[in-house]
A and B are shown apart, each in its own frame.
Chain A
Amino acid sequence: MMTLKTCDKKRSASGVALQRFAAFLAEYAALLYGCGATSIRIEKNAARMARAFGINFYIFIMPAHVSVTVWDDDESDAAVAARRTAACGISFNLNARLSRLSWVVADQCLSLEDAAERFEKIKQTKPTGKWEVLVLTSIANASFCHLFGGDGVAMIIVFISTLVGYRLKQIMLEDGRDVRLTFLCASFFSASLSAAGHIFNIGGTPEIALGTSVLYLIPGIPYLNSVSDVIYRHYLCALSRFFEAAILTACLSAGLCAGMLILGLKTF
């Protein structure tokens, strides 16, 4: 196991060099925030790299932007850089690769240029294939239906409604539609399709099919991140992530209600 260390060949930086360090660290932290890393992970990774670069470092993480201040040992020079948090969507693959980069910088004493080059390559990381995600999500939601007590017919209904709803979500997001509107439309479609069990009396657990058909839209990661940020006292980021998740939950709930109302279903 490797341990955190400051590079032996201590690199002194000042003026323009400090500005470049600050810009790199701010960009790194902004991308890490955007891909759904917790605030403590962003702090630790960026501090690890700053230490390896031999500069003093302070980070200020806000929901919409990240600000990094770096200064040299004798405090004669300092630089500040701020970047907007990236809107790249949650990606644990990016999170893992960026975390690994911070260790490579610390252990191999990479120069800023090398680190920046590797960072650019990481930024090009492709997301998981859309058809793979579509099929896996549909299977996952059908399995979820079974965990809630749904029978085989309910699982098939949920699989189809998730397939259609998730595909609609992908199309709308690719088209640049608002994410809240997308959640509302996807949940409306999934709920309307899964209501078939109720309307045509198919299967023994139609209410479970209807209830679980929209669960693939629940923003689980932002909820988990918000509680993690509370634990590490990043209250503003926690609040922001919580509200973001709560608004998406409200949208999917509204879509479900609309689908049930239009089809004349009353489950409350």
Chain B
Amino acid sequence: MLSDIVINILEDGLFAALAAIGFSSISNTPRRAYLICALLAAAGHSLRYVLMLPDGAVMHIIPASALSAFAIGMLAVLLAPRIKCPPEVCFFPALLPMIPGMYAYRTIQYLLTTLCHTGEEAFQHYFYLFVYNGLTSTFIISGMVVGATLPVFLFKKLSFTATC
């Protein structure tokens, strides 16, 4: 049972790292930052996985994402000076696997579906799904950025001298 959980955590971290490297390549991240981006994404995503485990902390996705982003931000502030990059060059790509993409595009899809239904019950149902997905994605992204930016505030001097 415990070994299954450990394997799942490692698997989650591995695939999050692969996703972070791929998505960061779209944003022309310097090659020397790939390894740190992968490491941060693996740490953050697997931490969120642990926080959301049904048998564990059972945390909601919004605070779990914010806490994981905080961990990513802390690691980025510490590791970014080693590769002479600003912290956001490391933590923004690492946050990409946690971006609530499905919530974001379902918000638009349910908005369109709402407009296609004139009956009150169906309209309210799809409107509820539209608002639910929209609010969830907004708060996940906000929580993530606030969480990841907090260490930059806390260690301002280190964060803004990372490239020197």
Contacts and interface: CB of A to CB of B under 8 A. Distances in A.
A139 B18 contact: yes
Contacts of B161: 1-4, 103
Interface string A42-68: 001000000000000000000000000
A99 B108 CA distance: 36
Contact of B25 (A37, A38, A133, A143): A133
Contacts of B126: 268
B28 A128 contact: yes
Interface residues of B, number: 56
A3 B92 CA distance: 25
A139 B34 CA distance: 14
B159 to A, nearest CB: 10
Contacts of B108: 249-250, 253-254
| Chain A interface residue bracket vs B | 35 or more
Contacts of A38: 88
A136 B12 CA distance: 18
Interface in B1-34: 12, 15-16, 18-31, 33
B19 A227 contact: no
B89 A95 contact: yes
Nearest to B24: A92
Contact of A99 (B45, B86, B99, B110): B86
A109 interface: no
A257 interface: yes
Name the residue in A96, A214, A216 with the highest tally of chain B Cβ atoms < 10 Å from its Cβ.
A96
Given A227-B145, A228-B145, A220 B29 contact: no
B164 A221 contact: no
Interface in B108-137: 108-110, 112-113, 126
Nearest to B34: A136
A91 B12 CA distance: 27
Contacts of B30: 92-93, 96
B163 to A, nearest CB: 4
A127 B164 contact: no
Interface string B76-104: 00000100111011001101110101101
A96 B89 contact: yes
A42 B160 CA distance: 11
A95 B105 CA distance: 28
Interface string B54-68: 000000000000000
A212 B29 CA distance: 23
B21 A136 contact: yes
Name the residue in B20, B109, B158 with the highest tally of chain A Cβ atoms < 10 Å from its Cβ.
B109
A107 interface: yes
Contact of A138 (B22, B95, B145): B22
A31 to B, nearest CB: 13
Contacts of B101: 215, 218, 220
Given A92-B93, A256-B109, A220 B102 contact: no
B144 interface: yes
Contacts of B99: 218, 220, 223-224
A108 to B, nearest CB: 11
B146 interface: yes
24 contacts: A1-B81, A2-B164, A3-B161, A37-B88, A38-B88, A91-B28, A92-B29, A92-B85, A93-B29, A94-B28, A96-B30, A96-B84, A96-B86, A99-B86, A100-B84, A143-B22, A144-B97, A211-B102, A220-B96, A224-B144, A227-B141, A231-B149, A253-B108, A268-B126
Interface of A: 1-4, 36-38, 41, 44, 89-96, 99-100, 102-103, 106-107, 127-128, 132-133, 136-141, 143-144, 146-148, 211-212, 214-216, 218, 220-221, 223-224, 227-228, 231, 249-250, 252-254, 256-257, 268
Given A138-B22, A140-B25, A253-B108, 18 more contacts: A3-B161, A41-B88, A92-B24, A103-B164, A136-B22, A137-B26, A139-B21, A140-B20, A143-B15, A144-B15, A147-B15, A147-B16, A147-B97, A211-B102, A216-B26, A227-B144, A253-B106, A254-B112
